[in-house]
Amino acid sequence: MEQTEGILMSRLRCLHLADLHLGWRPRELSGREEERRRERDGLLKKAVDLVLTPNSGIQMVLMVGDLFETHRPEIGLVDSVLQELRRLEKANIPLITVPGNHDEVTYNDSVYRQRRAEWPGVLVTNPMPEKVKTITLGGTAYHFYSLAYTGGLTRVTEPLREFPRVSEAGVHMGVFHGSLDWEAGERSLPLSSQGLAQAGYDYVALGHIHQYREKVVGQTLMLYPGAVEGKSFSDPGEGFFTVA
């Protein structure tokens, strides 16, 4: 896997992950289904290995939705994911995890409800935007704002345009799994780029779109890292991890 070098914030090196879709099972690969399954389910380990590589300089990890293909993945897969995330915790690497639309927190049997008590780092569960964490690294405060789409609670009749921002000094970062400036159907979180920019965020870490995309509005950079591994010829994935 390649990585894109610090294109975003000179003061922070952050691994921005989204749409790993662990647990997805390919079909009709002429006997290679098991091989492809293992490759995909090993993506998180590769990402953690990258973070923990000596001299990587990566200081935190954002996982911005659809870590899993479904809200109720296999127990063994969840256990292996938690094992990898604990490696980050042991190394004192801050972690923020945002549920997506495939692995929604809406359901009572959602992995994020069932395993919340043992999830390392910050697990976002609030249904509307709010500040979820402030982390101080190298003397700079990084303020993070996010939400977890929750059916019946998250208001999605129109794109979200109002986002919170505390008045404290530091770097302000949005972390959202949704569709930026376009409608993506039911169970998708529509976001307004103008609203995000007006909130005064420095960087918005996005997930949901499987292609790498950047958008700048005012002083705000919004970025989709894309899916590292795709699902089909029309969804090939980007083939690299994004380090901001």
Q: Is the pLDDT of residue 4 over 80?
A: no
Q: What is the mean pLDDT of the chain?
A: 87
Q: Which of 202, 230, 226 is nearest to 216 (CA)?
A: 202
Q: Is the pLDDT of residue 240 over 60?
A: no
| pLDDT score, position 57 | 92
Q: Is the pLDDT of residue 27 over 90?
A: no
d(CA 115, CA 123): 10
Q: Which residue has the higher pLDDT, 234 or 49?
A: 49
| Virtual torsion, Cα 180, 94, 17, 212, nearest 10 deg | 60
| pLDDT score, position 40 | 67
Q: Is the pLDDT of residue 216 over 70?
A: yes
Q: Going from the N-terminus, what domains does the chain have, and what CATH number goes with each?
A: 2-243 (3.60.21.10)
Q: Please write down the long-range contacts of 107-113, taking CB distance under 8 Å and 24 or more positions apart.
A: 107/71, 107/72, 109/71, 109/72, 110/71, 110/72, 111/68, 111/71, 111/72, 111/73, 111/78, 112/71, 112/148
pLDDT digits (tens, 9 = 90+) for 141-164: 999 999 999 988 998 888 889 999
pLDDT digits (tens, 9 = 90+) for 79-99: 999 999 999 999 999 999 999
